[in-house]
Amino acid sequence: MTDQKNNNMMVGMTVFGAIFFIFGFATTFIVTLSAPVKEIFGLSEFGAQLLSSAFFIAYPLMSIPTGKLIDRIGYKGTVIAGLVLMALGSFIYIPAAQMPSFPVFLIGTFILATGVVFLQVAANPYVTAIGSDETASSRLNLTQALNSIATMIAPWLISVAIFRGLQFPTDAGLAAERVPLPFIIMGIIVLLVAVAIFTIKLPVIKSEKSEKKSIWRYPHVVLGALAIFMYVGAEVGNAGLIVNYLKNNLNMSPEMASTYAAIYWGGAMVGRFFGSFMFSDMPSSRKFTYALPVLLLALVSGSFVTEWNWNIGLIFAGIALANFIIMQIGRGKAARTLAIFALAAALLDIATIVTTGNIALWTLISIGLFNSIMFPNIFSLAVKDLDKGELSGASGLINALIFGGAVIPPLMGFVADSAGYTWAFVVPAICYLFIFFYAVKGCHIRR
């Protein structure tokens, strides 16, 4: 029976690991696409960040209905529907770029995002419920690490496939012609994955029938949803401004700036791999052993996206080592580590405001490492002590508040247009301070 249970968990984790990879790529590709879209359509920074708004507005509109859809057709059916919607949204970018039409871009983005919402609302509670509560944070960090591999690839792909060799605003038309190909490829891949998932048998997570309870009764769920709002807004807002911040404040080319955006997202990947074993129940000696290949991954990935600049790779690996050392202070406790990382991220945003040059560059890029464990830790803290029958409703509410990604980036864009890019980073610093409050106090309020 134990072997069968372990096999079922492995099948479920493998499939949903692939799902996390897919929606991670799509999300980050859209966020980073705001930089070329700004050039293609001649938009202000506020206008360019509306692309993120069109993506993340799908969360409050569709997350709670998706939770109910899961109760009706199950996790597997919801995932397949999400993949089909992602493909449809991807193919809409073909006419959007050919016209070119910014409103059609926004329509395609919303449809694609609706598919991503289906995937995300289904994936997080599934991974939480498929094993024990004690190791839920570890499993979520592992799947989020796979998600983050994709989030590192997406900005690098924009650098290579869209920005390479172009000068703006002269080559804006050529940039528009280059946009559809990555979406065509993504649309085909997600359709193939949908067919594959349809043909396999996934472990079934059954909702437990229990007395009717409103998740609004649980302050730790509601405050956790607000923490997700702040986290996603800060993460996406920082990422959305990286390219144009580096271009305007450090006179960096868009192509090179996009590679640093890839390193920012790569930090989340590295930190989540750390989290996948730091929040597990394995012996401490094995945790330190597993840290070595993750540090090697940081070195290689940082070098790869910068065309094998090993100096940058070494800097990235050094910051990753510092991140791992700081993670030890958390002692494998989700709330404690979340508090430390949220405070560190806030201080890094503030450091970006008050410094310049390479120091400001690396304080901004390093935030990605401290973003790493926030979503899975906030989610696992927010759904702790709920029964399985309440998971889908709580996940719907929490994922609805991913809407922060639609609010914070345009707000940062407005500040950047009004007062300069540097001052825009005040906004995410405030967001991280709220997450610090949730980790210290909010997650412990149960009634």
CATH code for the domain of 233:
1.20.1250.20
For the record, the structure tokens of 146 come out as 């796979």
pLDDT of residue 292: 93
Asked if residues 67 and 388 have their Cβ atoms less than 8 Å apart, the reply is no
Comparing 100-109, 116-125, 262-271, 422-431, the range with the smallest average pLDDT is: 116-125
Q: pLDDT digit string (tens) for 273-297?
A: 888 788 777 777 788 898 999 999 9
For the record, the structure tokens of 275 come out as 């989290």
Residue 211 has pLDDT above 70, yes or no: no
**Dist CA 293 CA 288 (whole Å):** 10
Asked if residues 338 and 435 have their Cβ atoms less than 8 Å apart, the reply is yes
Note down the domain range covering 149: 2-444
400 falls in which pLDDT band (50, 70, 90)? confident
Please confirm whether the linkage preceding 169 is cis (ω < 30° from 0).
yes
Residue 133 has pLDDT above 70, yes or no: no
Asked if residues 37 and 48 have their Cβ atoms less than 8 Å apart, the reply is yes
pLDDT of residue 412: 96
Q: pLDDT digit string (tens) for 330-378?
A: 877 889 999 999 999 999 999 999 999 999 999 999 999 999 889 888 9
Domain count, the chain: 1
Report the C-alpha dihedral over residues 350, 353, 357, 358, rounded to 10 degrees: 20
4 falls in which pLDDT band (50, 70, 90)? low
For the record, the structure tokens of 185 come out as 């490829």
Give the other-Cβ count within 10 Å of 244's Cβ: 22
Residue 1 has pLDDT above 50, yes or no: no
Residue 210 has pLDDT above 70, yes or no: no
**Dist CA 348 CA 181 (whole Å):** 36
Distance, first Cα to last Cα, the chain: 38
Please confirm whether the linkage preceding 293 is cis (ω < 30° from 0).
no
Q: pLDDT digit string (tens) for 157-200?
A: 888 888 887 777 677 788 888 888 888 888 898 898 888 888 87
pLDDT of residue 301: 92
Q: How many Å separate Cα 329 from the centre of its chain?
A: 24
pTM flag (> 0.85):
no
Helix (H, G, I), strand (E, B) or coil at 306: coil
Helix segments in 99-253, DSSP class H: 102-129, 136-158, 172-178, 180-199, 219-249
Residue 260 has pLDDT above 90, yes or no: yes
